[in-house]
Amino acid sequence: FAMRLNTIVTGIRSLGDTIEEITVVKKFLRAVPIRFMQIVASIEQFGDLKNMTVEEVVGRLKTHEERLRGYGDPKVEQTLLLTHIEWLSRSKRTVERDSSNASRGRGGSGSRGRGRGRGRGRGRGRGDGHDV
């Protein structure tokens, strides 16, 4: 795409017509595919379009495209999946270990929790006169 645009601009300039670089840069940024809209907005906001060349814009777009390709790398996704599986395995082991230790100590499901057990609650032996 950039090569085609560059060929057109070179052809127009060779015929003697003068086209300013900023005009070509703006037209180029307007014509890029939708997948580049985010980087185009960034270039327009933070780049100095008056001093920017078409080659600079193309370089930035190519860099962005290469970066996007890196995110879709299947090797990386498999590595992340393995990491995720390992993480699930570890969390499963932690849950199993915690459930086996639950009967010991304070607050575990096997121990008497708050408000339960001997001497607490309603009924006989409370000493409030209801067992007479």
Tens digit of each residue's pLDDT, the chain (132 residues): 677 777 877 888 888 878 888 888 888 888 888 888 999 999 999 988 889 988 898 888 888 888 888 766 555 555 555 566 676 776 787 777 777 765 555 555 555 556 555 655 565 655 555 555
Q: Where are the domains of the chain?
A: 2-71
pLDDT of residue 41: 92
pLDDT of residue 109: 52
d(CA 29, CA 25): 6
pLDDT of residue 120: 57
Q: Which two tokens stand for residue 80?
A: 């992340």
The radius of gyration of the chain from alpha carbons, rounded to an integer in Å, stands at 35
Q: What predicted TM-score, i.e. pTM, was given to this entire model?
A: 0.47
pLDDT of residue 42: 92
pLDDT of residue 4: 78
| Strands, E assignment, the chain | none
Nearest by Cα to 59 from 31, 30, 39, 73: 39
Task: Determine whether 79 is exposed, middle or buried from the number of CB atoms within 10 Å of its CB (0-12, 13-18, 19+).
Answer: exposed
